[in-house]
Amino acid sequence: MQTFTPAPVVEMPERNVPSIIEMKNVSKRFGKGKPTIRDLNFSVKQGQIFCLLGPSGSGKSTTLRMLNGVYRPSEGDVRVLGVEPYKFGKSTRAQIGYMPQQFVLFPELSTIENVNFVASVYGMSWFGRREKVRKALEFVDLWEARNRLASQLSGGMQRRLELAATLVHQPKLIFVDEPTAGIDPILRAKFWEHFKSLRDTGRTLFVTTQYVTEADYCDMVAILNRGRLLAIGTPEDIRRNAFGGEIINLSLGEINGSIVRLLKSLPDVNRVQVISSESIRLTVGDTGETLPEIINLLQQNNIEIQTIEPYRPDFEEVFVRLMETDNANLPADAEEVHE
Amino acid sequence: MFLYQIIVQIFAFVRKELFGALRQPRLILSLVLGPFLILALFGLGFQGSSRYNTTLVVPNQPDISTNVADYKDLDKQTFHLVNVTKNEVEARAKLDQGETDVVIVVPPDALDEIYNGRNAKFPAYYRSLNPIQANYIEYSTYVYASEFDKVILRQAIAASKPQTAQLKESTDQINSSTDALDRAMQSNNLIEAKLQAQRLRTATQVSRAALNSLILPGNSPANSNDPQSKVLGGRVTDTIVKGGTGRAKTDLDNIDTKLNALDDGFNRGDANSAPQRANLESIRQSNASLSDQSNKVANIPPAVIVEPVLSEAKNLASTKVSYINFYGPAVVILLLQHIAITLASLSNVRDRLIGAIEIFRVAPIGPTQILTGKFISFALMLLVLGVILITLNNQLLGVPFVNLQANWIWALAVIGVTIYASIGLGYLVAGLSRTESQAVQFSMILLLASIFFTGFVVPLSQFAEYVRYIGYALPMTFGSANLQGVMLDNRIPDLPFLLIPLGLGTVYLLLGRYLYRRQFNIG
């Protein structure tokens, strides 16, 4: 795997990093029906990998299309690179790369011809694009396969070809719609390596995905369900918020009501959940501060601790919890978004 | 720099479409060889008129042959005689079973009908749902019946030659009687003069009867009011009447008048006065004229009398008329139009279906650059295809290209405007189609409309005015007529036929762009 070759974007001190994407109170409805996207509010800083996570039909692609100017919001304000997307001029568009969900390049053209074509569409002259085409193909390990027809490439290679075509004009902001859908885990990991490399050169990536485990690759995650934003923040923030704090798993010889009451008496313990007759799960504000307090309390009361450890739920668990909470709160007539 | 970028973007699509086409050898083959093979098969295989297997049913009489060879004179271009039979039921059964195409029945009582003053009818049976075939067979039977009538008429005229001889004899008799009358008048022998005058009158009556019995065009009082006298054929007939039998009748009338005057003179006792001599001289002159006319009439052959007027049409076109020549250029235009519509519409629909339009929407490129790039690539491909098809037409099928050195530029102009309008039509079809199969269906409908409503098979003038507008909306209507004129008749293209497709193409391109832009701005 090559390191990313395109020129880096100028980096700024953290406090001065501008929002490259801003969505304020954005809703989108098609026709006269109910809005398929409701009250979206978020911003994306330059140099981040921002993931929009959600199940199929949650409104990810619609949101993406509002950001790249294909759709116009019904309500609210969208700004990308400081401009309303549907008013994008050529210079703004030239700073944006877009990798659609499906392979949209041309099977009868070779790998290099496809990338050349996209480069030309972005107005890059033959001399100006030669080196960049090569670097983009090398970046995704397709230089050796440059003369193969796109139709002869495997599914994973086709996705990489699309990524090369998205990057060839060295965009500042890259929209990637479900890049890892339907590809094997090894290639998926490689894609995220690519994205991190791009992020490290100062580029901003807006990635939609329905693979919740990929959230941990992102700097910021927004979770979308039925057109509404359920959570937004760093993966850790979301994890914490999903369960109302951090989690500690505790195994004791025997669990009874007095032990539960004892643990609940600690001020930093938000929730006590009995898992089995010997194990219990505690939700606390901060594991680092609360863990010693729990150990002390149990020892003072002569309760034998078999194991005690902080538990970091995987994002799948976080996602399921958020979905369950959301579905429980939703009105019965809530509809799925058709993307 | 900005302009340079636009050019780069446009040529991105030119390259994409050209490379895409070149990468598909089957597409190239089907684009070039397919149309040519269709044209070649059409040109070589099309025979123009049909020959129909015909069964002749002859009267069931022992002396009539049923051997096909005995009727070889009847085996003409349209009716190919395959069987002669005396069994009409069997022949019509074969017609029902499709074993023969036409059954012609010779009625046993044809002569009786004619002698009884009625037309003899030869029924011809056929079984066809095709109106063109039906008309052709009926027209052919009419032509054969007319030919048959002429044969009979020629025989009748040949048989009427004795009347011509009798007329000649009568004029000789008038001549000798006039001489005898002259002698009687000079000898003042009134009785002999009256007798000779009477003989002269009798000879005149015989001449008049002979003249009336002649079969000649216009030699019938019924024809004098014929509306055809106003047209060419009628005037020719009139001329024949005035110069031939009409003049002869005038001469006879004059002889009668002068004979009456002579008779009056004889009754007054005037045998040889100057007025009487003048009357006699007038009779001599009229008879000389009558003799002259009768000689003329006697010299007209029966075939000329039957067909006094023959058409002598001359085609002033520069090349020989043939189906392959006529259809060759038209098929080139038809194929170019069809391929242009199909290529342009499928390309746009495909971009939309595979999602490429999503990339274009986000990229710094507009619909005009995309459509222009595609237009250039399609136009280049089709122009090359057009030149190849015309060359193959000319070199392999022998379709002439008159004055190629001067006219090739006009042929290119005709092909160019046809391609321009057809690609525009393709963009319009793409804008109206949601799927590739819809685009193909639209293209096929336009192909069908082009075959029927552009003058390709049936002249446009044979359609009602409102139907003709379908043809006027199709580039082929103008392209095929112009290319035929340029290639086959050394003509400069009709300027309106160049300008109309240009105008149509511009309208189609603008509409196509409008619809494409709407697809761009879907949100």
A110-143: pLDDT as tens digits: 999 999 999 999 999 888 899 999 999 998 889 9
The pairing of strands A96-99 and A173-177 is parallel
Residue showing tokens 């990810």: A60
Q: Does A113 touch chain B (CB under 8 A)?
A: yes
Distance from CA of B22 to the nearest CA of A (A): 9
Tell me what pLDDT residue A4 has.
Answer: 42
Q: Does A12 touch chain B (CB under 8 A)?
A: no
Lowest mean pLDDT of A101-115, A199-213, A236-250, B288-302, name the range.
B288-302
Beta bridge partner(s), residue B80: B53
Q: Which residues have a Cβ under 8 Å from the Cβ of B369 and sit 6 or more positions away? A: B6, B9, B10, B13
Long-range CB contacts for residues B375-378, cutoff 8 Å, separation at least 24: B375/B344, B375/B423, B375/B509, B376/B10, B376/B11, B376/B13, B376/B14, B377/B13, B377/B14, B377/B15, B377/B16, B377/B17, B377/B18, B377/B21, B378/B17, B378/B340, B378/B343, B378/B344, B378/B347, B378/B419, B378/B423, B378/B426
Percent of chain A with pLDDT over 90: 35
* pLDDT tens digits, one per residue of A147-195: 999 999 988 899 899 999 999 999 999 999 988 887 788 888 888 998 9
Q: Does A69 touch chain B (CB under 8 A)?
A: yes
Q: How many CB pairs under 8 A join A and B?
A: 87
Q: Do B364 and A94 touch (CB under 8 A)?
A: yes
Beta bridge partner(s), residue A307: A251
Q: Do A68 and B362 touch (CB under 8 A)?
A: yes
Tell me what pLDDT residue A17 has.
Answer: 66
The three-state secondary structure class of B263 is: helix
Tell me what pLDDT residue A12 has.
Answer: 46
Within 8 A of A126 by CB-CB distance, chain B residues are 8
Nearest CA in chain B to A28: B523
Within 8 A of A104 by CB-CB distance, chain B residues are 354-356, 358-359
Q: Do A93 and B356 touch (CB under 8 A)?
A: no
Q: Do A117 and B12 touch (CB under 8 A)?
A: yes
Token pair, residue B435, equals 């799927």
Mutate: best of A120, A122, A168, A176, partner B, most B CBs <10 A: A120
- Secondary structure element (H or E) that encloses residue A87, with its range: none
Within 8 A of B363 by CB-CB distance, chain A residues are 93, 98, 118, 121-122
Within 8 A of A84 by CB-CB distance, chain B residues are none
Tell whether the model's pLDDT for residue A335 goes beyond 60. Answer: no
Mean pLDDT across A222-246? 86
Q: Does the ipTM surpass 0.90?
A: no
Q: Does A102 touch chain B (CB under 8 A)?
A: yes
Q: Which residues have a Cβ under 8 Å from the Cβ of B214 and sit 6 or more positions away? A: B160, B163, B164, B167, B245, B297
Nearest CA in chain A to B365: A121
Q: Which residues have a Cβ under 8 Å from the Cβ of B112 and sit 6 or more positions away? A: none
Tell me what pLDDT residue B218 has.
Answer: 54
Distance from CA of B523 to the nearest CA of A (A): 4
Nearest CA in chain A to B367: A121
Which residue numbers in chain B have pLDDT < 50?
222-224, 228-236
Tell me what pLDDT residue B270 has.
Answer: 87
Nearest CA in chain A to B523: A71
The alpha helices in B244-366, defined as continuous H runs, are: 245-267, 274-298, 302-306, 323-354, 356-362
Mutate: best of A92, A104, A152, A159, partner B, most B CBs <10 A: A104
Nearest CA in chain A to B370: A121
Tell me what pLDDT residue A43 has.
Answer: 92
Burial track A241-269 (b if 16+ CB lie within 10 A, e otherwise): bbbebbbbebbbeebeeebeebbeebebb
Q: Do A68 and B364 touch (CB under 8 A)?
A: no
pLDDT bin (cut points 50, 70, 90) of residue A2 is very low
Give the largest Cα separation in chain A, rounded.
79
The alpha helices in chain A, defined as continuous H runs, are: 60-67, 90-93, 111-121, 126-139, 155-167, 185-200, 235-243, 257-264, 287-300, 315-329
Q: Does A175 touch chain B (CB under 8 A)?
A: yes
